[in-house]
Amino acid sequence: MKRFNRLLAIALTFLLTSCGIFNNYHADKKYVPAPLRGTPEQILAKKGFVVSYNDDTRLPNWVYWHLTSDHIGGKDTRTGISYHEDGKVAKPRATLADYRRSGFSRGHMCPAADCKWNRAALKESFALTNICPQTEKCNSGVWNSIETQCREWALEYGDLYIVCGPIYEGVPETIGNNRVAVPTGFFKVVACLNGKKKGIAFVCDNADRNQTLKNCVVSIEDVERITGMEFFPSLNAKDRRTVKERGNIKDW
C-alpha cells in the first residue's frame, strides 16, 4: 500500500505541476506529502508554502514548505499585513469573526518568520488557510519554540523540508458561525536531506498548559501512524528508513 501511495504521489505531483497548480510555489515540490485518502483535500500553492485544505474542518490538513538558510532573517515586515480570509477556497470558510472571542489564538502553520524573505509570501502566511485555532500557551509556548528551533537548524544545515498540521481525537469542537474545527494537537515533521540525511518530528497538545520541546519529540513514522499521512513519499527506501524511523534530538 505504501509503495502504491508513493507512486501515486509522484504521479500526482507530476500531474499538478504539468497543469500549473504549483506555478505560484517557488521551491522544490517533490517532497509534498502523498495524496490523502478519504479526506477532503484542495491543494493551494502559495508563494512560500503549499496547503492541503480541508473544507469540512475549514483548516489545513497539512502545510509544506522548504526552509532555507537564505530565508532566515528576511527583511520584510508585517506592516500593512493583516489576517484575512482566503478567497481561493469556497464558502463557508474560516473568517476573522470565527476567532473573535473564541478563546483561541490564530496559530500559524507555516510561520510568518519563515516568509519574511518575500512580501507576497509573508502576506499569504496570514491567510486563514494557513491558520489553526491554538491555545495561547501552545501558540506562544512550545509551538513557537519548535518554530525557532527549525530556523536555527536551517541556518546550521542549509535547508529543511517541513510539514505540519492539526491532529484530532474524536469529533472536534468548533468555533464561530462557520464551525471551524479546533484541533486537539499539532504535528510537525522535519527532514534534513543535505549531507547526512536525518529526520525528526514533534507532537504537542493544543492545551492550556506548559509543554517542552524535548518532551514533544517523536519519529516521523510515529506521526504517520497518528495521522494516516505519508510524508516525503519520493524518498528511496534507504533514505526513508534513515529519515523516518528515528526521532532523537541528540542527532541534531
Q: What is the set of active-site residues?
A: 108
Residue 87 is given by DSSP the state T
Tell me the helices (H) and strands (E) count for the chain, helix number first: 7, 11
Burial class (CB in 10 A: 0-12, 13-18, 19+), 79: exposed
Grid coordinates given for 188: 510537525
Residue 38 is given by DSSP the state S
Q: State the Cα angle at 40 between 39 and 44, rounded to 5°.
A: 125
If we measure between CA atoms, which residue out of 5, 11, 108, 16 comes closest to residue 60?
108
Q: Looking at the chain, how many residues does it have? A: 252
CB within 8 A of 31, min separation 6: which ones? 64, 66, 161, 191, 193, 232, 234, 235
If we measure between CA atoms, which residue out of 231, 158, 240, 164 comes closest to residue 198?
240
End-to-end CA distance of the chain: 31
Residues 172, 182 contacting (CB under 8 angstroms): yes
d(CA 227, CA 61): 10
